[in-house]
Amino acid sequence: MNIRKALCASVALATMAIATTPAYAGTAELLKRLHEKGILSDEEYAELLAEEANPAAAPAPAAPAADTMTRATESVDSSRMVRMAPTGIGLEVGPATITFAGSVNGFYVHDNPATPTANTAVTGGIASVGANNSSAVRNGLLPGFLKVSVAAKQSGWDVGATFGMYPGINSTAWGVLGANNGGQPTALATAGIDFRQTFMTFGRPEVGTFKIGRDIGLFGSEAILNDITLLSSGTPGNNVAPGNTTLGRIGVGYIYTDFQPQITYTTPSIKGLQASVGVFQPLSSLTGPAESNSAPGFQGKVTYDGKFGDVAARLWVSGITQKHDIVGGGSYTGSGVDFGGKVTVGPVTATGYYYTASGLGTTVLGLFDTGVPQSGPGVAKRDSNGFYAQALATFGKISVGGSYGESHLDYASNADRLANPNLLDVNSSYVGQVRYGLTSWVTLIGEYIHSKAVAHSGNEAQSDAVALGGILFF
- Output DSSP code: residue 180: G
Residues 6+ apart with CB under 8 A from 188: none
Number of Cβ within 10 Å of residue 88's Cβ equals 11
Into which CATH architecture does domain 98-473 fall?
Beta Barrel (2.40)
213 class by beta-carbon count within 10 Å (0-12 exposed, 13-18 middle, 19+ buried): middle
Element (H, E) at 51: helix 42-53
> Taking the C-alpha atoms of 449, 454, 459 and 464 in order, what is their torsion angle to the nearest 10 degrees?
0
Residue 415, classed as helix, strand or coil, is helix
d(CA 186, CA 171): 8
Most confidently predicted of 76-80, 103-107, 360-364: 103-107
DSSP structure string for 244-271? S---BTBTTTB----EEEEEEEEPPPBT
Chain segment 302-347, per-residue pLDDT in tens: 999 999 999 999 999 999 999 999 998 889 999 999 999 999 999 9
Residue 221, classed as helix, strand or coil, is helix
d(CA 284, CA 264): 21
Mean pLDDT of all residues in the chain? Answer: 88
d(CA 260, CA 262): 6
Mean pLDDT over 65-86 rounds to 62
Residue 322: the pLDDT is 97
d(CA 144, CA 194): 10
Q: Map out the domains of the chain as residue ranges.
A: 3-61, 98-473
Residue 17: the pLDDT is 41
Element (H, E) at 402: strand 398-409
Residue 84: the pLDDT is 81
Nearest to 432 by CA among 402, 468, 465: 402
Q: Which of 12-16, 101-105, 255-259 has the lowest mean pLDDT?
A: 12-16
> Amino acid identity of 369?
D
Mean pLDDT over 222-235 rounds to 98
- Output DSSP code: residue 2: -
Number of Cβ within 10 Å of residue 57's Cβ equals 8
Return the exposure string of 159-185: e unless at least 16 CB atoms fall within 10 Å of the residue's CB, then b: ebbbebbbbbbbbbeeeebebbebbbe
Chain segment 127-152, per-residue pLDDT in tens: 999 999 999 999 999 999 999 999 99
74: pLDDT strictly greater than 70: no
> Taking the C-alpha atoms of 231, 233, 235 and 237 in order, what is their torsion angle to the nearest 10 degrees?
120
315 class by beta-carbon count within 10 Å (0-12 exposed, 13-18 middle, 19+ buried): middle
Output phi, psi for 396, to 5 deg. Answer: 65, -125
Nearest to 90 by CA among 146, 153, 157, 165: 146
**Cross-strand bridge partners of residue 340:** 316, 353
